């Protein structure tokens, strides 16, 4: 957890601010700035003002030199603020990336060439190469284990200090470059070229180097550009209209009006919002392959979740022992313990665990001399034959019933009732027989994660339907689904069932997200609109999905959905705020422009601003200052509340729409009180 805390850095760190300030000036380069049409027009205005300022040093026709200089400087600062917002967002992403990159420094490699081992460095690796790692080695590259098993410390990436087990074959065969082998020895085949691994892609992504505008961002930019265009027209047309009315408008005043009216607030913060969205995903330890995936996550209608590990904690656990009539509880527990000695499955282990806890008489469990009977598909039971000839078997109801009845014994009615009860409660019964007579039933239960019910409730309020995927029979699945509060379930699921479900939902026009780790999940991950692969999963799964969760935490999808929604909301609310601001700015600047030649228009000066010059300066100062004031909001995102779309719209309209109208009136007035002392 320590590493995680380090990651959630303060919003503005000293060195970050310094670097961002430097970047703010670098970004003034028109070739870079033209990507942001709104701020580009501000730059053009600043350039024009510079000329006017120089001119005003020699002539008085455009107002005083000091006044023009101030306007020019404020416009320039507006630009710097907007650039700073983007730079600080990038810097935060970069800081994140740098800490990850530390793990990417050239690591030594033990390359396997035939039977020999060659020492080289990670930069020399090619796809398909095989290398060896033993305890203490840093894994030099992403790859798949071809041989062996090892415990690995992935804290460098995930921030979780508990080591994880990775082994050849199966779904947990992939390793990530930069992680450390803690024990044992593995052989790993390189799957990605150095520089193209997930971490590298991620680093590039968060640094903004390969950041592409998302469709939604493009649409918003179009709207903002249109606003900019119309205000260009408004301002250009104002000149002849003023000429007609016999008013002279100075260039400084006209440009100030223009810069105030165009949506500089959202224009300056737009790219910062986008970068921060991906950064927030990263902070949640999710690598997104594109910003679009984060946005799409906000639109998800249906969420497919595996039962195991997501809704329930790990595997089923033994929760109760029900001895048959005539069998003492302690005898039964002893039998259960004996029968489970050879059972290494999680269920078996949980029986032993519970058994020892309940073994109040401290009876000694002796298996020496006994013969362990392993589980076989043929008998569907496992157990032990003790030295004294006692045969203990444990297995599913059908299997034990066969054993019991074929020996001529009857299957007790009350045990059957218990079994029905257990099944009805979503549990799985395991029957234990001693010498072909029923001794009792062990109840295995899924443990539903605490708090999961509330999380599903939250998702429902967001409008997301949750679907549980499980291998259980429909009855058990139904029980768990109800208890956990999911909306639907797929029971006895095969991998292709997931795929079918996703396709069905998509045909109905819904967006589907799913999480998966195995190779057989890959097609479904690719089909889903948002596919989150676990970092522990296979390479194929990771390639197929569009996000990778470094924590391997299946509930992460819920966070991703919220991050996506936050991203869109932040854009929407700041756009509204920006446009709403214009009302107050009009009431500051328009009277200031015409008050001298048309005294009646002084009535529009509702804020009672001190003088035309102070009114114009106050308006542009407010316009500049609001950008840095809103940077924290842009970076953190507007908080999402699952209160339903209409209520949310009402709430945000009140805060950012109405607030956007009122705040600048107050802000401009306050600034004017100060500026009024000088102008």
Active site residues: 306
Q: Of 102, 99, 89, which is closest to residue 279 (Cα–Cα)?
A: 89
Task: Tell me whether residue 168 or residue 225 sits nearer to other proteins (CB atom).
Answer: 225
**Nearer to other proteins among residue 236 and residue 629 (C-beta):** 236
Shortest distance (Å) from residue 657 CB to other proteins: 7
Q: Among residues 463 and 474, whose Cβ is nearest to other proteins?
A: 463
Phi, psi of 306, deg, nearest 5: -70, 140
Here the tokens at position 381 are: 């039971």
Minimum gap (Å) between residue 157 Cβ and other proteins: 29
Is residue 554 within 8 Å of residue 306, measured between CB atoms?
yes
Q: Which is nearer to other proteins, 284 or 590 (CB)?
A: 590
User: Half-sphere exposure of residue 224, counting CA atoms within 13 Å on the CB side?
Assistant: 30
Closest distance between other proteins and the C-beta of residue 575, in Å? Answer: 6
Q: What are phi and psi of 165, to 5 degrees?
A: -100, 135
Total residues found in the chain within this entry: 679
CB-side exposure of 299: number of CA atoms within 13 Å? 14
d(CA 57, CA 47): 16
Provide the token pair at 82. Answer: 């907007």
- For residue 97, the tally of other CB atoms under 10 A from its CB is 24
Number of H helices and E strands in the chain, helices first, is 24, 21
- Measured in degrees and rounded to the nearest 5, phi and psi for residue 10 equal -60, 160
Of the candidates 29, 592, 28, which has an alpha carbon nearest to the alpha carbon of residue 256? Answer: 592
Handedness of CA 394, 395, 401, 403 (dihedral sign): negative
Find residue 144's DSSP bridge partners.
174, 189
Which string of b and e fits 167-183 if b means at least 16 CB within 10 Å? bbeebbbbbbbbbbbee
Measured from the CB atom, the residue of 220 and 439 that comes closer to other proteins is: 220
Q: How big is the CA angle at 214 (ends 210 and 219), to the nearest 5 degrees?
A: 140
CB of 524 to other proteins, least distance (A): 20
CB of 377 to other proteins, least distance (A): 44
In DSSP terms, 118 is beta-bridged to 111
DSSP state of 448: B
Q: Is 532 helix (H, G, I), strand (E, B) or coil?
A: strand
Q: How far is the CB of 259 from other proteins (least distance, A)?
A: 15
Tokens of 320: 């109760």
Beta bridge partners of 320: 443
Q: Least distance to other proteins from the beta carbon of 590, Å?
A: 5
Instruction: Name the residue nearer to other proteins (CB basis): 522 or 568.
Output: 568
* In the complex, minimum distance from the CB of residue 577 to other proteins, in angstroms, rounded to a whole number: 10
Please, what is the minimum distance in Å from the beta carbon of residue 508 to other proteins? 6
* Residue with smaller CB distance to other proteins, 179 or 296: 296
Task: Give the burial string for 302-332 (b: 16+ CB within 10 Å, else e).
Answer: bbbbbbbbbbbeeebbbbebbbbeebeeeeb
Closer by beta carbon to other proteins, 247 or else 519 = 247
Of residues 157 and 568, the one with the C-beta less far from other proteins: 568
């Amino acid at each position: 957890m320590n590493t995680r805390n380090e990651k959630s850095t303060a919003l503005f760190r000293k060195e970050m601010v310094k670097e961002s300030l430097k970047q703010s000036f670098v970004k003034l380069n028109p070739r870079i700035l033209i990507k942001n049409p709104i701020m580009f027009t501000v730059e053009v205005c600043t350039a024009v003002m510079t000329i006017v300022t120089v001119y005003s040093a020699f002539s008085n026709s455009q107002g005083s030199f000091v006044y023009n200089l101030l306007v020019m400087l404020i416009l320039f600062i507006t630009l710097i603020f907007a650039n700073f917002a983007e730079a600080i967002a990038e810097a935060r992403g970069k800081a994140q990336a740098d800490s990850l990159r530390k793990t990417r420094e050239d690591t030594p490699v033990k390359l396997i060439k035939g039977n020999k081992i060659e020492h080289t460095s990670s930069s020399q690796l090619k796809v398909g190469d095989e290398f060896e790692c033993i305890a203490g080695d840093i894994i030099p590259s992403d790859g798949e284990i071809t041989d062996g098993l090892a415990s690995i410390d992935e804290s460098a990436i995930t921030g979780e200090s508990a080591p994880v087990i990775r082994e050849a074959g199966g779904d947990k065969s992939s390793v990530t470059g930069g992680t450390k082998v803690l024990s044992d020895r593995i052989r790993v085949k390189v799957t990605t070229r150095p520089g193209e691994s997930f971490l590298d892609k991620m680093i590039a992504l968060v640094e903004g180097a390969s950041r592409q505008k998302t469709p939604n961002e493009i649409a918003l930019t179009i709207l903002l550009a249109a606003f900019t265009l119309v205000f260009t027209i408004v301002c250009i047309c104002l000149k002849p209209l003023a000429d007609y009315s016999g008013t002279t408008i100075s260039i400084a005043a006209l440009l100030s009006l223009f810069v105030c009216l165009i949506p500089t607030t959202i224009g300056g913060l737009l790219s910062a919002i986008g970068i921060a969205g991906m950064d927030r995903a990263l902070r949640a330890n999710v690598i997104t392959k594109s910003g679009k995936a984060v946005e799409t996550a906000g639109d998800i209608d249906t969420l497919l979740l595996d039962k195991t590990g997501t809704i329930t904690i790990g595997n089923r656990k033994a929760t109760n022992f029900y001895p048959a009539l005539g069998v003492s509880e302690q005898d039964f527990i002893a039998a259960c313990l004996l029968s489970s000695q050879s059972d290494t499955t999680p269920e078996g282990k949980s029986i032993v665990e519970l058994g020892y806890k309940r073994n109040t008489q401290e009876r000694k469990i002796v298996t020496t001399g006994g013969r362990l009977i392993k589980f076989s598909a043929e008998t569907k039971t496992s157990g032990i034959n003790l030295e004294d000839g006692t045969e203990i078997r444990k297995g599913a109801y059908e299997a034990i019933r066969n054993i019991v009845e074929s020996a001529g014994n009857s299957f007790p009615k009350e045990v059957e009732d218990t079994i029905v009860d257990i099944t009805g409660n979503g549990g799985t019964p395991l029957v234990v027989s001693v010498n072909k007579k029923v001794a009792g039933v062990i109840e295995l239960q899924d443990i539903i994660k605490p708090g999961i019910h509330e999380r599903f409730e939250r998702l429902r309020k967001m409008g997301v339907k949750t679907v549980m995927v499980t291998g259980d029979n429909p009855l058990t699945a139904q029980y768990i689904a109800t208890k956990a509060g999911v909306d639907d379930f797929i029971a006895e699921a095969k991998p292709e069932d997931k795929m079918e479900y996703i396709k069905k939902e998509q045909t109905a026009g819904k967006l589907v997200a799913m999480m998966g780790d195995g190779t057989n999940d890959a097609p479904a991950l690719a089909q889903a609109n948002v596919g989150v692969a676990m970092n522990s999963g296979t390479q194929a799964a990771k390639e197929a999905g569009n996000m990778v969760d470094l924590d391997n935490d299946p509930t992460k999808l819920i966070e991703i959905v919220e991050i996506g929604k936050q991203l869109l909301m932040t854009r929407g609310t700041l756009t509204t705020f920006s446009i709403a601001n214009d009302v107050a700015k009009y009431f500051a600047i328009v009277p200031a422009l015409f008050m001298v030649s048309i005294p009646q228009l002084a009535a529009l000066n509702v804020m009672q601003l001190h003088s035309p010059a102070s009114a114009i300066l106050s308006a542009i100062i407010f316009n500049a200052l609001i950008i840095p004031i809103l940077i924290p909001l842009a970076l953190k995102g507007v908080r999402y509340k699952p209160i339903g779309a209409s209520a949310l719209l009402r709430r945000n309209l009140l805060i950012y729409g109405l607030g956007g109208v009122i705040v600048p009136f107050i802000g401009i007035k306050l600034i004017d009180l100060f500026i009024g002392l000088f102008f």
